[in-house]
Amino acid sequence: MTEEQIAIIKALQEGIAICEEPFDEAAKKAGVSAERVIEQIRMWCEDGVIRRFGAIIRHRRAGFVANAMAVWDVPDDCIETFADAAASHQEVSHCYQRPRFEGFPYNIYTMIHGRKKEDCEHIANEISEKTGITNFRLLYTAAEHKKTSPLYFLHTQSMEGGE
């Protein structure tokens, strides 16, 4: 990353201003032109450094109040088939493989979002029926203690402020 790119990341990561010319605002913070910011976002979107550029929704406010982390015990040779089946559900936002540990045989994690608990159960049951994986658990969110966006290059000096 160049110094200029780090300045652009820092100007973007807490979100753009919701105003008529948001990229001009970000550009001012980064000390570059708005065209440069827009061009850089485009390039990063293309090569995957930015996964997505757009609005991030508070899904609880939008009615998706039931959120379950479903954990699954999937044999190694079925993992890809299982992940495909799970990921095909729109309500499944994340799907990861993580290490098992003592007393916890589950190795696949899926986040499921629904308007009510039964929706999550229904989706988990569907995935289970489709894949034949029956050893799983739904861990519902009891409290959300923190939810923020990551902040990158906090300790990196950059030419912020257009110096």
Partner 1 sequence: MSMDSIDRRLLNIIQEDFPLSRKPFDAIGEMLGITGEEALKRTQSLAETGIIRRIGAIFDSKRLGYVSTLAAAKVPEDKIRKTVEVINSYPEVTHNYERDFEYNLWFTIICESSERMENIIEEIKAKTGISDMRSLPAERTFKIKVEFEF
Q: Which residues pair with 21 in a beta bridge?
A: none
Residues within window 99-138 making contact with partner 1, judged by CB under 8 A: 99, 101, 104, 109, 113, 137
113 three-class SS: strand
* Alpha-carbon dihedral angle through residues 110, 46, 152, 23, given to the nearest 10 degrees: -120
Q: Which of 76, 81, 89 is nearest to 121 (CA)?
A: 89
The CA-based angle 40-42-46, given to 5 degrees, is: 115
Task: Note whether 54 binds partner 1 by CB under 8 A.
Answer: yes
Site string for partner 1, 34-53 (x = CB under 8 A): x---x--xx-xx--xxxxxx
Q: Does 65 bind partner 1 (CB under 8 A)?
A: no
Q: Which positions touch partner 1 (CB under 8 A)?
A: 1, 9, 12-16, 18-24, 34, 38, 41-42, 44-45, 48-59, 61-62, 64, 69, 79, 83-84, 86-87, 90, 92-99, 101, 104, 109, 113, 137, 139-152, 154
